[in-house]
Structure 1
Amino acid sequence: MTGRVVVIGVGNPLRGDDGAGPAVVEALRGRVPEDIVLAVSDGEPGRMLELWRGADTAVVVEALHLRPARPGGLHTLTATEAASRGTGTASTHALGLGECLALAEALDLLPRKVVVHAVEVAAVELGTGLSDPVRSALPELIERTSASVLEAREGNHQRQPSGGAPLP
Structure 2
Amino acid sequence: MERNGTQQGKIVLGLGNTLRGDDGIGIAATAELAKKFAGRAEFVCTEEMGFALLDYLSGYEEALIIDSICTTGGEAGEIHRFSLEDFPPRANGSAHYLGLPEAAQLAREMRIPFPANVHILGIEISQPFDISPSLSPELKEKLPAILENLESLLRELL
TM-score (norm 2): 0.73
Query: What are the residue-to-residue correspondences of 1:111-126 with 2, within 5 Å?
Result: 111-123=115-127, 124-126=129-131
CA separation of 1:16 and 1:146: change in aligned 2, threshold 3 A: same
Residue 47 of structure 1 and its aligned partner are, at CA, apart by 2.5
Aligned pair partner of 1:53 in 49, 58, 75: 58
Q: 1:34 maps to what in 2?
A: 39
Residues 11-59 of structure 1 show CA distances to partners (whole Å, capped at 9, x for unaligned) of: 0111100110110111123211325211112242232111111111111
CA separation of 1:76 and 1:22: change in aligned 2, threshold 3 A: same
Q: Distance in 1 between matches of 2:51 and 2:103?
A: 10
Residue 95 of structure 1 and its aligned partner are, at CA, apart by 4.9
TM-score (norm 1): 0.70
Q: Distance in 2 between matches of 1:61 and 1:141?
A: 12
Q: 1:70 maps to what in 2?
A: 75
Q: 1:101 maps to what in 2?
A: 101
Q: Distance in 2 between matches of 1:63 and 1:95?
A: 19
Residues 90-127 of structure 1 show CA distances to partners (whole Å, capped at 9, x for unaligned) of: xxxx858xx21233134325411111111121223211
SS at match of 1:111: coil
**Uncovered stretches (5+) of structure 1, i.e. residues with no partner:** 87-93, 154-168
Residue 143 of structure 1 and its aligned partner are, at CA, apart by 3.3
Q: Aligned Cα RMSD in Å?
A: 2.7
SS at match of 1:29: helix
- The 8 Å contact of residues 13 and 65 in structure 2, kept in 1 or not, is answered as yes
- The 8 Å contact of residues 72 and 120 in structure 1, kept in 2 or not, is answered as yes
Q: 2:84 maps to what in 1?
A: 79
Q: Distance in 2 between matches of 1:13 and 1:125?
A: 11
- The 8 Å contact of residues 45 and 95 in structure 1, kept in 2 or not, is answered as yes
CA separation of 1:132 and 1:142: change in aligned 2, threshold 3 A: same
- The 8 Å contact of residues 22 and 68 in structure 2, kept in 1 or not, is answered as yes
SS at match of 1:63: strand
Q: Distance in 2 between matches of 1:68 and 1:8?
A: 26
Does residue 24 (structure 1) correspond to residue 36 (structure 2)? The answer is no
